[in-house]
Amino acid sequence: MKFYLISDNIDTKMGMRLAGINGEVVHEPEQVKDAIEKAISDKEIGIILITEKLVKLCSELIYDVKLNLKSPLIVEIPDRHGTSQITENLNRYVRDAVGIKL
């Protein structure tokens, strides 16, 4: 099982590359969609890391994939510009998936 990074900046990509994680840098919603589809089609990829800014840019698509596909797991990561509101995002994900407000 491999990790794959979808980032909005080269610094995050380079840092992950040093850890052995391949990925790509995208900026537009259509590019994000293409990158996610490419990663989903590769059965060796088990975890997609995606930066917070791109999750905000394409939140509906990403949460649709999270809710409807068993694999790969999509994990939102903060980047150098991120606000690190991961708790809010997890609460929203649980609310959408289960219907319970935390």
CATH of the domain at 9: 3.40.50.10580
Residues in CB range of 80: below 8 A, 6 or more apart = 9, 11, 12
- pLDDT score, position 35: 95
Q: CA angle, corner 82, sides to 33 and 45, nearest 5?
A: 40
Tally of structural domains, the chain: 1
Domain extent, residue 40, equals 2-98
pLDDT tens, residue by residue, 67-101: 888 889 998 887 666 565 655 665 665 666 666 65
pTM for the whole structure: 0.77
